[in-house]
Amino acid sequence: MSSKNGLNTRNCKQIFSPAKNEMQTPKNIIITSYYFLPENTPRAFRTFELAREFSKKGHNVTLFIPDYDFNYGEIERRFNLKIHKVNSGFFLNRNHKRRYLGTQGSSSSNNSGFGKLLKKHIKKIVNYFIGDTTLEYSVELWRALLKHGTESDLVVSVGLPVSVHLGVAWAVNYGINLRAAKIADYGDPYYFNEVSKLCFYHKYLEDYFLKRFDYISIPTEKAIESYKYYKPEDKIKIIPQGFDFSETNKYEYSKNNKPSFAYAGLFYKIRNPRMMLDYLCDIKNDFNFFIYTDINHAETNECLTPYLDRLKNKLIINKLIPRTECIKELSKMDFLVNVGNLTSNQIPSKLIDYSLSGRPIFSFQPDNFESEVFTDFLNGDFSNQLKVNISEYDIRLVADKFLGLCNN
């Protein structure tokens, strides 16, 4: 049976899968996402790593991503991918990704304090009723799938935002022949998210589009309860973030002249370092606390601004850098800091990168900072470090979990 782009899904040559040690038939795979390179986010990593690994295993991979102002010709050739750019929107979200890349790393807006506060509340109200403006992407994605989508064996829809899942659901409902196993991949819950409250009808919207998917994939068992309303438990699959460990480079560690530790990522209300920062303001020890973050992220700024003058040059804030470069920088530190989420259904993906850097991890909950343990870390005693088993995050195993759903 041939697909619209001429790829044959039945009468094609056999390929060898080292991970499974068995022969496989190449599959046609569609991946849809709202994030991709060169954006520096976990969902962009998820999309790229999956696409590259599926292609490495000999499968035919087609990506549908937003219309970044970026030339993907080299990426398509190097990793044997087919990429379709999709308009990010047609009104409020029009050219959003182009603007994003054009302003990345720029200084914060010069709006007055009142203007920022007003904008924040308006955004909160809009999000409560309509989710967010990325819902426009669902329409554009649906159109792109109808135009370029092919008959396939596997569809992985990478969310959030849920506009990605909604666009795929519409394509399934109206016109495209997707006989594939369809998987709605989540990083965080949508309606049953304990932090981002939404109007009640979003539960039924989520139920509507998830009925068009065969499976839901989530990164941690802790989140299962957030999806049982939509699917029986045997249709909810635990498939963690996956990475190619062979690409990791790091410095040979040597103890710093003064305790140096780092945090990489954003801060939120559910991931607020206030207790640790208050403690750092009160101690007399000299130290360097490096933070790699998005300086324009509102909640991150809200968490850090009160401490800029109090900690002065002990707090060193850097903009986000590419993931592999960040892991290398983290490997210079004496230890790393992880702030757990207050919610039970989310897990920081940074723990994988932290572990790959080879440095000890001090982890605490926003409402339970153990100052005595932290003092031990400052003194070079890492006996209470967080241990993370990263073997399950090997991208080869993660890709095989998705591929295994094709035959079920």
Q: 190-224, pLDDT tens digit by residue?
A: 998 877 788 899 999 999 999 999 999 999 888 89
pLDDT given for residue 342 in this prediction: 62
Tokens coding 131: 């989710």
Report the sign of the C-alpha dihedral through residues 160, 141, 183, 33, in that order.
negative
For residue 379, the Cα-to-chain-centroid distance in whole angstroms is: 34
Place of tokens 């990489």: 264
pLDDT of residue 388: 85
Structure tokens at 110: 């010069």
Closest CA to 338 of 321, 353, 327, 324: 353
41 contact partners, CB below 8 Å, separation of at least 6: 35
In what side-by-side order are the strands of the sheet with 315-319?
315-319, 288-293, 260-264, 335-339, 361-364
Rounded to two decimals, what is the model's pTM? Answer: 0.78
3-class SS letters over 148-207: HCCCCCEEEEECCCCHHHHHHHHHHHCCCCCCCEEEEECCCCCCCCCCCCCCCHHHHHHH
How many other C-beta atoms are found inside a 10 Å radius of the C-beta of residue 265?
22
CA distance 45 to 63: 14
Rounded distance between C-alpha atoms, residue 167 and residue 178, angstroms: 13
3-state secondary structure of 352: helix
Q: In a 10 Å sphere around its CB, with 0-12 CB exposed, 13-18 middle and 19+ buried, how is residue 132 labelled?
A: middle
Query: Residue 1: its pLDDT value, please?
Result: 37
Supply the pLDDT for residue 2: 36
DSSP 368: B
What are the tens digits of pLDDT across the range 295-326? Answer: 888 899 999 999 999 999 999 999 989 888 99
Residue 105 one-letter amino acid: G
Tokens linked to 284 = 């007399």
Write down the pLDDT at residue 14: 35
Domains and CATH numbers, the chain: 15-239 (3.40.50.720), 245-392 (3.40.50.2000)
**What pLDDT was estimated at residue 407?**
64
Taking a C-beta distance cutoff of 8 angstroms, is the pair 154, 124 a contact? no
Q: Distances in Å between the alpha carbon of 9 and those of 58, 179, 292?
A: 13, 12, 45
Distance CA 127, CA 266 (A): 20
- What one-character DSSP code corresponds to residue 253? P
Spell out, as residue ranges, where the chain has pLDDT lower than 70.
Answer: 1-24, 99-121, 175-178, 342-348, 407-408
CA dihedral 146, 150, 153, 155 (to 10 degrees): -40
What's the pLDDT score for residue 119?
A: 63
CA 277 and chain centroid, separation: 26
Separation between Cα atoms, residue 355 and residue 336, nearest integer Å:
10
pLDDT of residue 341: 75
